[in-house]
Amino acid sequence: MPHLTLIQAVNDALHLAMKHDDRVVVLGEDVGENGGVFRATEGLHDTFGEDRVVDTPLAEGAILGAAIGMAAYGIRPIPEIQFTGFMPMVFDHMVSHASRLRWRTRGRFTCPLVLRAPYGSGIHAPEHHSESHEAYYMHTPGLKVVVPSNPYDAKGLLISAIKDPNPVLFFEPKRIYRAIRQEVPEEIYEIPLGKAAVVNEGTDVTVITFGSMTHMAKEAITRASEQGISAELIDLRTVWPLDIDTISTSVAKTGRCVIVQEAPRAASFSSEILTLIHEKVFDSLQAPVERVAGFDTPMPYYRMENYYLPNANRILAGINNVLNF
């Protein structure tokens, strides 16, 4: 079985999806001959030709806008946006059209597309290249948001996203594009959307996160276990609509919870999880839920980004806070 990085797993999934379904089309800036700025689409242009792997002019809104028309017509577009920092250009078409085309036409037209974008921070990039925008799309009815944390999941989730009849945002944590290698089966396989992974079982506290923060959280719970703390780690994989059963079951068991995200906290992923925990398992809670997150400021430039980003120390401190309440 090949050992692949996350970016190679994404590339592999795209190759397979295009091979198995000739309706699949990749479009975006520099995705063709150049293979994408992170090489996610490498080799697709040579294999599938310029009709199916299209270098578009530089206009993010039009990339999604055109993909909406394509999807409604009956093909399966996979638009790539070069960085999530440019997603505001895409926002109107995502919120006003992609998300609600099915709803607006009572199912007559649908919008099965997967928008891929390198996501999050941690690669010392310039401004607008490190954002974590998941909350905007969680808030928009009709969209699914997926963020893989490892190569195996990346491939299986991307295949599922491409087969999904709804519009999906597939955010790829770029700081772990090449950080980990993992055995990834050569064949096509799916990991269902909406199903979390319990990365580590535990009984004292539940840590809920997704994407690259899963690795920070792993480090933190390893250190916690050295202190005798048994932590359960949930990698949500699909950020929205999320796997409420896994969250509820875990927090009902542990009674304590820490939520970890890169994004600012106000009206964020963690705000929603907190609310859901209160709605579902309030009676089980033995301590206030702790958030380990970015701050409510713009993402600082790379020289100061480590002040902003959650790390294992901050997560461990969060775990200790809920246990010492």
Partner 1 sequence: MATKSKANKPVTVKDVFKNKFTPYTLLNPDGTLNGPAPDLSPEQLQAMHRVMVEARVFDERAVNLQRQGRLGTFAPLSGQEAAQVGSAFALRKTDWLFPSYREHAACALHGQPWLDILKYWGGNEDGSRVPDDVNIFPVAIPIATQIIHAVGAAWAAKIQGKDDATLVFFGDGGTSEGDFHEGLNFAGVFKTATVFLCQNNFYAISLPRESQTSSESIAQKAISYGIEGIQVDGNDVLAMYQMTKEAFDRGRAGEGPTLIEAQTYRYGPHTTADDPTRYRDSAEVDQWKERDPIERLKNYMISQSIWDDGKEEALWEDVRAQMAKVVEDYEALPERPVEEIFKYTFEEMPWHLEEQLAELKDFIAEYGNPNEGHH
Q: Across the chain, which distance is largest between two alpha carbons, in Å? A: 60
Name which of 79 and 122 has its Cβ closer to partner 1: 79
* Total length of the chain: 325
CB of 107 to partner 1, least distance (A): 5
CB of 166 to partner 1, least distance (A): 5
- Of the candidates 325, 312, 313, 319, the one whose C-alpha atom is nearest the C-alpha of residue 291 is 319
CB of 18 to partner 1, least distance (A): 12
**CB of 77 closer than 8 Å to CB of 27:** yes
Q: Which of 45, 93, 129, 215 is catalytic?
A: 129
CB of 135 to partner 1, least distance (A): 15
- Of the candidates 293, 188, 192, the one whose C-alpha atom is nearest the C-alpha of residue 243 is 192
Which residues sit at the interface with partner 1, rule CB under 8 A? Answer: 25, 51-52, 54, 56-57, 59, 61-62, 65-75, 77, 92-93, 96-97, 101-110, 141-142, 144, 165-166, 194, 241, 244
- Distance in angstroms (rounded) separating the CA atoms of residues 174 and 120: 7
Name which of 62 and 198 has its Cβ closer to partner 1: 62
CA dihedral 190, 207, 243, 306 (to 10 degrees): -70
CB of 79 to partner 1, least distance (A): 10
- Distance in angstroms (rounded) separating the CA atoms of residues 256 and 286: 6
- Is 129 a residue of the active site? yes
Which uninterrupted H or E stretch holds 57? none
Beta-carbon count within 10 A of 46 CB = 12
- Distance in angstroms (rounded) separating the CA atoms of residues 13 and 17: 6
- Distance in angstroms (rounded) separating the CA atoms of residues 5 and 324: 38
Asked whether the CA dihedral 79, 81, 84, 88 is positive or negative, the reply is negative
Q: Where do the H-state alpha helices sit in 164-255? A: 213-226, 244-254
Residues paired with 160 in a beta bridge: none
CB of 111 to partner 1, least distance (A): 10
- Catalytic amino acids? 129
